[in-house]
Chain A
Amino acid sequence: MNTYIPAEFEVVRNAGLCTVCRACERQCSNGVHSYDKERGTMVADATKCVNCHRCVCICPTHALKIVRSGDVYRTNSNWSAQTMNEIFRQANSGGVLLSSMGNPNDLPVYFDRILVNASQVTNPPIDPLREPMETVVYLGKKDVVIERDEHGRLIDNLPPQLRLNTPIMFSAMSYGSISYNAHEALARAAEELGILYNTGEGGLHKDFYKYGKNTIVQVASGRFGVHEDYLRAAAAIEIKMGQGAKPGIGGHLPGAKISEDVSRTRMIPQGVDAISPAPHHDIYSIEDLRQLIYSVKEATDYKKPVIVKVAAVHNVAAVASGIARSGADIIAIDGFRGGTGAAPTRIRDNVGIPVELALAQVDERLRREGIRDAVSIVVGGSVRSSADVVKAVALGADACYIGTAALLALGCHLCRSCYTGKCNWGIATQRPDLVKRLNPDIGYKRLVNLVTAWNHEIQEMMGGMGINSIEALRGNRLMLRGVGLNETELRILGIHHAGESM
């Protein structure tokens, strides 16, 4: 016996508007829409609908909408329909629940409880349209002793730095989890914007070596696609220790998703499972991490910054302190809201902590220990707007990673079905007929639009605060006030409550 789980959505078609052009049928990889010959109309099987909105967007007469099905179980505040359905699914199959994208649950979003300051009367605001407003940041170690030659000139002994025109980068998403066209769009946008994108643990496609100076390559536990040329091609190398969506567990790309091209890029056989173990099997301590960092630095002649990415977890501040002493140039912290192509639901929804709290604690800890300059801090998971970027910088971040926001710019509608590999928007799929729906010429422009717009907004907000350089905003928590937060939360964030003056 399989318990029937009612459809979550209902496909509503306005018969007066529908011209039976069948575009919805052609566009839906889930097979929701079909043509009923006898009646001469379109019909829909809503049980297959994931609510990706592809048909809604594509319908030339706007005859479609997707609504909640309205089918309800008896009201129960303890047993939600979602919880009940999960039990039915597991009783039906015996399987581990698998989900995609970030934690969707109703947990506090601290960015939304933080408000930004503005100047009034004294220290007047600055108009970014009229005056220069610096958003360039350099990521890397800056804790060097100033040395001068015999003529008193500065000796450049600064370790390698990454230059970003705006404190935003595209976070790690592998080729395999997302499509070739999505990668091309990210790479080209990063180049045009003067920022960086990140290959994830999927290798670097040969076509994208030319974007090397805007590329971060990742070294993770499976070491897929990692070799000499790959390390040398990039502007920076990221050692992935953890991911916000699934802290403490590894990855598993099923053989079915390893197409010929993905196989070439990851340097693994086609059709064979690609398993990334949860730990790096040579890292059991900060000293071991240091060893991997220096092996990468040796392989690249100390010319590239090394990023260590960890998930935001309970003791992240102590971990970050260790990383800052391990030789890493940049620490990336990924919050529990971060997205993923696939993660066990229980891990995604129950493991990790909000990135705002993690960031505040890491920045505080590194400052207290006098090693904040030893590393730059990058945060992600989830940064949803320019306001989140501004707040993150004021909490102590040097820059932010955006992943989900970038995918939204490419057409993603957060249906959270990436693991099916049938993404109707051509993003989280390797099916050629679906991939070609994402036009990289358009996609990259949309990414450029998004980040350019955010950069304007960042400048506006900085100007309002009377700050004309992003460097002066970093860790400037006096610019932030909490609203509706308790004393513990305020203490952890290191900010006052709204209404309290300094």
Chain B
Amino acid sequence: MIIDADRDMHFSRLNAEVRNTADERVTINGCLGQRYIATGSSGKTITVNGTPGNALGAYLNGSTVIVNGNAQDATGDTMNGGTIVIHGNSGDATGYAMRGGKIYISGNTGYRAGIHIKAYKELHPVIVVGGRAGSFLGEYQAGGIIVVLGQNDDGLPIINNFCGTGMHGGVIYLRCDKLPHAIPDQVRAEDVRGDECEELCSIIDDFCGFFPEFDRDKLVSANFKKLTPDTDNPYKQLYTDN
């Protein structure tokens, strides 16, 4: 199914068409800020040409969403499964509270990416950012994997302030030799070599499968900072029974 959206097409109409079609493949052309595309969707492959609006793929439940353009805020909010591929940048709160599935972004991502992402049993969400991430990356992270590759060419650092604040599970990999900003006391940083880390290699393989413009070997043959919660130094606000 091909939907020709334009600026006058309201999101509720667009999304009803996407929801109600029996076609497994849906292409949306000329998308211009329509929100909630592919919300809760499963069993479909949805290609968005243009700029989808906020909350793209919220509660996504297995569908694949490919964006040829930039995505806005709250992409993949509370997503449970499926894949979102963004050939461009993504806005703030990308992958908020996601529990499963994968988000691949060729460009940069905004503030609070991967905030409160979590893992559960066989569900291990993954967010891979080709460029850089804004402040509060992986805030309250409870599980899952965030990878930032730092291939941005604007000269700005790979992360900004407050990365991993409140992190209590999961892993963040940052492709850099040195952290550009301090991380909280409760988060531990260790050095890993990309090509010596199986988990990272396989994630980068997947990433490059979607974005052939990236050189896989170059990406992995570099130092990464691996951030994990420091189990020796947990968050323990001591409570007193009253």
Q: Which residues does A use to contact B, with CB under 8 Å? A: 86, 89-90, 92-99, 219, 221-223, 226-228, 231, 263, 267-269, 272-275, 277, 281-282, 291-292, 294-295, 298-302, 344-345, 417, 419-420
The distance in angstroms between the C-alpha atoms of A95 and B241, with both chains bound, is 9
- Total interface residues in chain B, CB < 8 Å: 46
- Establish whether residues B168 and A275, one from each chain, have CB atoms under 8 Å apart when the complex forms: yes
Q: Which of B158-213 contact A (CB under 8 A)?
A: 166, 168-169
6 contacts between A and B (CB under 8 A): A98-B241, A275-B140, A282-B96, A294-B55, A295-B35, A295-B74
- Interface 9-mer from B24-32, B145-153, B215-223, B232-240: B232-240
Chain A residues, Cβ within 8 Å of B235:
273
* Contact with B55, one of A97, A222, A291, A420 (Cβ below 8 angstroms): A291
Known: A222-B97, A267-B99. A89 touches B77 (CB 8 A): no
* Contact with B168, one of A97, A273, A281 (Cβ below 8 angstroms): A273
**Cβ-based interface call for B36 (8 A):** yes
* Contact with B78, one of A223, A291, A419 (Cβ below 8 angstroms): A223
Chain A residues, Cβ within 8 Å of B54:
291
- Establish whether residues B116 and A223, one from each chain, have CB atoms under 8 Å apart when the complex forms: yes
**Closest 7 A-B residue pairs measured CB to CB?**
A95-B240, A299-B40, A223-B97, A97-B242, A298-B39, A298-B36, A95-B238
Chain A residues, Cβ within 8 Å of B123:
267
* Contact with B96, one of A92, A269, A281 (Cβ below 8 angstroms): A281
Q: Which residues does B use to contact A, with CB under 8 Å? A: 11-12, 15, 19, 35-36, 39-40, 42, 54-55, 58-59, 61, 73-74, 77-78, 80, 92-93, 96-97, 99, 112, 115-116, 118-121, 123, 139-140, 142-143, 166, 168-169, 235, 237-242
- Establish whether residues B61 and A282, one from each chain, have CB atoms under 8 Å apart when the complex forms: no
The distance in angstroms between the C-alpha atoms of A277 and B112, with both chains bound, is 13
If over half of A's interface residues share one DSSP class (helix, strand or loop), that class is named, otherwise mixed; here it is mixed
Closest to A226 in B: B78
* Contact with B61, one of A228, A272, A300 (Cβ below 8 angstroms): A228
- Establish whether residues A226 and B140, one from each chain, have CB atoms under 8 Å apart when the complex forms: no
Chain A residues, Cβ within 8 Å of B241:
89, 98, 417, 419-420
Known: A93-B240, A269-B169, A301-B19. A294 touches B59 (CB 8 A): no
- Establish whether residues A294 and B239, one from each chain, have CB atoms under 8 Å apart when the complex forms: no
- Establish whether residues A295 and B242, one from each chain, have CB atoms under 8 Å apart when the complex forms: no
- Establish whether residues A98 and B240, one from each chain, have CB atoms under 8 Å apart when the complex forms: yes
The distance in angstroms between the C-alpha atoms of A445 and B199, with both chains bound, is 53
Known: A98-B240, A268-B118. A281 touches B93 (CB 8 A): yes
B141: min CB distance to chain A, Å:
10
